Structure 1
Amino acid sequence: MDSFLRRTSLIVGLLLAPAMAKAEWFQFSGTAMTTPIQMEFWGDSETEAKRISQRVFDEFDRIDAQMSRYRERSELSAVNREAAEHPVVVSGGLFRVFEKAQEVSELSDGAFDISFGSVGYLYDFREKKQPTAEEVEQHLPKINYRDIELNKAERSVSFRKAGLLTDMGGIAKGYSVDRGIAILKSEGIRHARLSAGGDMYLLGDKRGRPWVVGVRDPRQAAKNAVVLPVSDVAISTSGDYERFFIDEEGNRVHHILSPKSGRPVEGIQSVTIIGNDTLTTDGLSTAVFVLGVEKGLAMINKLDGIDAIIIDSDRKLHYSRGLLDPQDASAPE
C-alpha cells in the first residue's frame, strides 16, 4: 500500500533550494461556493501571482455556476428539474463529478449518496429549521443513488424517480480544488497550498520542508487534534461543526445526513481523509462519517493510497492502517 507514511516528507534538515532573485511566497484569499478559499504559492512576481490567482478564483466561480444547488440557472438545478422527465446533457466537469459520486456510493454501499438532497433540501441551517418526522418519511424513499442513470456516450443524466434531488455539497469543492491545482501546475507553479473549506491540496513541498497541516479539534476551533507533515497530497475533512445548530432539545443538528434516516449522523465528530486527489478524498470523508468508525476504517484499509483519521463522539482518535506503526497489530481488518 502507498501509505501516508511513504507520502510524507519527514526530511527536515534539507537546505532550501536557491530561489530566483524575485521569487517569493504569495498569499490570496476569497470566497466561492459559499466557502472561504485560501491559496499560497511560490512565484516569480506579484503581477504574475495576481494573474494566476485570478485564474484559480475564476475557475471556482465557473464550477459554482455549474454545480450550485442555490443557483436556479446552474446545470445541477436543471438536472434536478428535468432529469426525471428526460435525459439532461451536462458539461464534462459535472458529468465527471456525477461519475465519482456514483463510484464512492458503490464503494460505501450507499453511505455516500448525492440524492440525499431529496431530504437535505428540507433543512435550513441559517434559519435553524429541520423537517418534521412526517416530512422526512415522505421524502426518504426518494434517496437512492441507483435511481441516477449516467449515459457516458451521450454525457447525460436521468432520474428513474420523480422528486429525486441531488446535492453536490459533499464532493464539488474537492473537484474545484483539483481544478485549481491543475491551473497552478499549468502556470509552472511547483509549490502551493490551495484550500476550500475542509478540502485542501498541498502541491510539492514547502521549498525543502514538508507542509505542516493541522486537523482541528472539532470542539475547540483554535486547537489542533493532530498535526501532519505532508507534501504532494490531498486532504479533506468532514465535521459536525461545519454547518449546524443546536435544537430546542439540545441536539446538534448538522449537515451530514444519513441516507437511510434523513437525519444527522451520530457517533463521529470529524473524519479526515488523505489521498491523491481532492475529488476522491472529499467524497470519502463524507462516506466514512456516515459509515462510522468500524465500517469506515474497514473500507479505507482496502484502498491503496488512502488513509483516514477519525475523531468519534467520545473524542477518541482512530487511524487507518497506513498511519499506524507497522508493528501495531491493532489496526482493524
Structure 2
Amino acid sequence: MHLTRRRFLTIAAAAGLSSLAPAARAGDAVRWTGAVMGTEASLTLQGAGHAEAARAIGLCLVELARLERVFSLFQADSALSRLNRHGRLDAPPSELVEVLEAARRVHALSGGAFDPTVQPLWDLHSRHFATPGADPVGPDEAAVAAARAAVGMDGLAFSARGIIFSKPGMAVTLNGIAQGYITDRIADLLRGQGFRHVLVDMGELSALGPRADGTPWRIAVEGPGEDLALDLSDRAVATSSGLGTPFDVSGRNHHIFDPATGRSSREARRVTVVARDATTADALSTALCVLPTERAGTCFAASGALAAHIVPASGPMIQLGAA
C-alpha cells in the first residue's frame, strides 16, 4: 500500500464510526475504509440495511479495483503505466480516454496551468531529492529544461483507437483528476443501486443527497491557512495543496508543478473547489493552485464550478462563487 497524499478533508459527520472491513455498522450508517490511488478512502452509507449496504460496497470494491488497473501509477500493468512505459497504447480503456478528454478541457480553460503531462517533472524532482546531499533549491536549470521539453498536451494524441506520445521522454500522471473521476463513478454506481444518503471519499468527496436525517454532510478542510467548513448535499468537493506531497522538509518543492517554469507552484497554499462533479472539482483545484489570482477568477468563471476557496501565498483566503 502506498499512501502518498496528506489528507486535508475530514468528514465531521463520520466521526466515531468504526472502520472494520469490509463494512462496519455504527448507528444509522455503514462505513467502509481503505485506500484508493495512493490515498485514504471511505464510503459512508446511511438509511440502508447493513446487508444491502455491504452488498453495494462489495460492488464498489470490484469497480475500484478495475479502475485502479486503468489509472494507477503504482501498478506496473495498469493501462496508464503501460502507456508511460511504451509511449503508446492501442485500444485504450474508454475511462482513460474520457479522463484525458476532461483533462484537455481544463487544460484549455486554465491556459495550460493544468497539464497531466508533467510526470517527467515529478520524476526529476523525486530523483533529485532522493539523492543524499541534494541541493535544497531543487534540480538545476538544465535538468528542468530537459524535463520540460517532454511536457505539453501538444505532444499527446488520443482517441478511442489509441494514445500516442510524440515527444521523447513523455509521461502522464492523472493524479490531479482521476481520483475525482473515480469518486464520480462510485457515486453513480451507488445512485444506480438506489442509495440516496451517501458520502463517497476516494481522495475527493461527493455527497449523494443529504444525510438520512435531512441535514447536509459537514466537511472540514484543515490547513495550511484558514480552516474551512462546508455543508454538502448533491455536491462534490476537492482540495489541492503542495503540502499534500512535498519533496523536501521545507515544502517549497512539491508535486503541483507550473508547466511554464518546471518548478513547484508558489501561487496558492491550498485551493478547495465545490462543483457538481468531483472530476471538475479535482482538476480545477489543481489548476487554481498554479494560476495567479487575477487569472484564477477567469478560469473559475468559465469552469461551471460552484465555489472556490483559495488560500494565497500570503493574505487572507479568497472565495470565488457561492456553493
Shift of the alpha carbon at 1:298?
Answer: 2.0
Q: State the partner residue of 2:144.
A: 136
- Greater relative CO (CA pairs within 8 A, separation 6+): 1
Structure 2: distance between partners of 1:64 and 1:233? 24
Deviations 1:203-244 (A, max 9, x none): 10113111111221216xxxx612122210011110122111
* 1:148 and 2:153 matched: no
The alignment-based identity, stated in percent, is 27
Aligned partners of 1:218 and 1:240 also within 8 Å:
no
Deviations 1:106-136 (A, max 9, x none): 1111100011012212233996565443321
1:134–1:180 CA distance, 2 compared to 1 (3 A) = same
Q: State the partner residue of 1:187.
A: 193
Shift of the alpha carbon at 1:315?
Answer: 4.8
* 1:282 and 2:287 matched: no
- 3-state DSSP of counterpart to 1:214: strand
Alignment of 1:89-104 (within 5 A): 89-104=91-106
Return 157-166 or 95-104, whichever deviates more. 157-166
Q: State the partner residue of 2:219.
A: 213
Aligned partners of 2:115 and 2:152 also within 8 Å:
yes
Structure 2: distance between partners of 1:122 and 1:71? 20
Q: Which amino acid aligns with 1:175?
A: Y
Structure 2: distance between partners of 1:151 and 1:269? 35
Structure 2: distance between partners of 1:321 and 1:32? 30
The count of corresponding residues between Structure 1 and Structure 2 is 291
Q: State the partner residue of 2:241.
A: 239
Deviations 1:54-83 (A, max 9, x none): 222332222111111222211112212333
Q: State the partner residue of 1:57.
A: 61
Q: State the partner residue of 2:205.
A: 200
Q: Which amino acid aligns with 2:156?
A: I
1:128–1:43 CA distance, 2 compared to 1 (3 A) = farther
Shift of the alpha carbon at 1:280?
Answer: 1.3
1:135–1:64 CA distance, 2 compared to 1 (3 A) = same
1:39–1:87 CA distance, 2 compared to 1 (3 A) = closer
User: Where in structure 2 are there 5+ consecutive unaligned residues?
Assistant: 1-26, 132-137
Structure 2: distance between partners of 1:48 and 1:235? 27
Structure 1: distance between partners of 2:82 and 2:130? 27
- 3-state DSSP of counterpart to 1:113: coil
Aligned partners of 2:238 and 2:285 also within 8 Å:
yes
User: Where in structure 1 are there 5+ consecutive unaligned residues?
Assistant: 1-22, 324-333
Structure with larger Rg: 1
1:73–1:40 CA distance, 2 compared to 1 (3 A) = same
Shift of the alpha carbon at 1:43?
Answer: 4.2
* 1:117 and 2:125 matched: no
TM-score (norm 1): 0.81
> Could you say what the CA RMSD is over the residues aligned between the two structures, in angstroms?
2.3
Q: State the partner residue of 2:181.
A: 175
Q: Which amino acid aligns with 1:139?
A: A
Q: Which amino acid aligns with 2:78?
A: S
Shift of the alpha carbon at 1:283?
Answer: 0.8
Aligned partners of 1:59 and 1:176 also within 8 Å:
no
- 3-state DSSP of counterpart to 2:228: strand
Shift of the alpha carbon at 1:292?
Answer: 2.6
Aligned partners of 2:242 and 2:251 also within 8 Å:
no
